Amino acid sequence: MDQIKVLLVDDHNVVRQGLKLFLATQPDINVVGEADNGAAAVQAVAQHEPDVVLMDLLMPQLDGISATQQIKLRYPDVEVIALTSFVEDSQVAAVIKAGAIGYLLKDVQPTELATAIRAAQRGEVHLHPQAARRLMQAIGPKEHPTVAEPLTDREVEVLKALARGESNKQIADTLIVSEKTVKAHVSNILGKLNLQSRTQAVLYALRHGMVSVEDIPL
């Protein structure tokens, strides 16, 4: 069984140890490293090559938002899930803009955390419902420049499916096309909407009424 390699980033040792103990019970998840600040997190990604990073936001030396931005710039295939104790409009928007694929609160149920890690490894977006609502309020029209070209009906279908948390494979099976075709649609969607990530595409779908907060998993 291929294991999902996870890096834990939090400045509280007790939090890291609690996460590590739970994730050790998951046969498909392997904690490959830890870091207690954002600067160390960037170095740890280079050293351990994780698939998913669980990232606290308030940390010394380098905060989680800046660390996420650096990680995504250097290692775009590494997925980052913000795991924090609070939901603040500016923090939520900033870490999503930095490239995080998910935003969870530390009171998340352990099984839901494992589900979110697996989803992130597949490139699926996971947002806490409260975080999604805050994002809708925090990200205004200026965050979504004029659309370069209208989406086709098929691209709208794919965008809605992305917002519902479906993987490329699930979308491909539903539309009876190849995963390669779905990836091409996603690339076209991001290009036409002037967006940088699948997470930002989900936010676009939310703000434009294509899906509701309740449609987003977790």
* pTM tops 0.85, yes or no: no
Nearest to 79 by CA among 98, 66, 105: 98
Enumerate the H helices of 5-80 as residue ranges.
13-23, 38-48, 64-74
What domains are defined for the chain? 4-124 (3.40.50.2300), 141-215 (1.10.10.10)
Dihedral angle of Cα 197, 60, 74, 27, to the nearest 10 degrees:
-70
What pLDDT is stored for residue 141 in this prediction?
A: 46
Joined together, the tokens standing for residue 7 give 């890096």
Q: How many C-beta atoms surround the C-beta of residue 196 within 10 A? A: 14
What pLDDT is stored for residue 48 in this prediction?
A: 97
Q: What is the mean pLDDT of each run of 10 residues along the chain (218 residues)?
A: 93 95 96 97 97 94 94 93 79 82 88 92 78 58 56 90 82 92 90 80 77 60
What pLDDT is stored for residue 148 in this prediction?
A: 58
Q: Is 72 in contact with 46 (CB distance < 8 Å)?
A: no
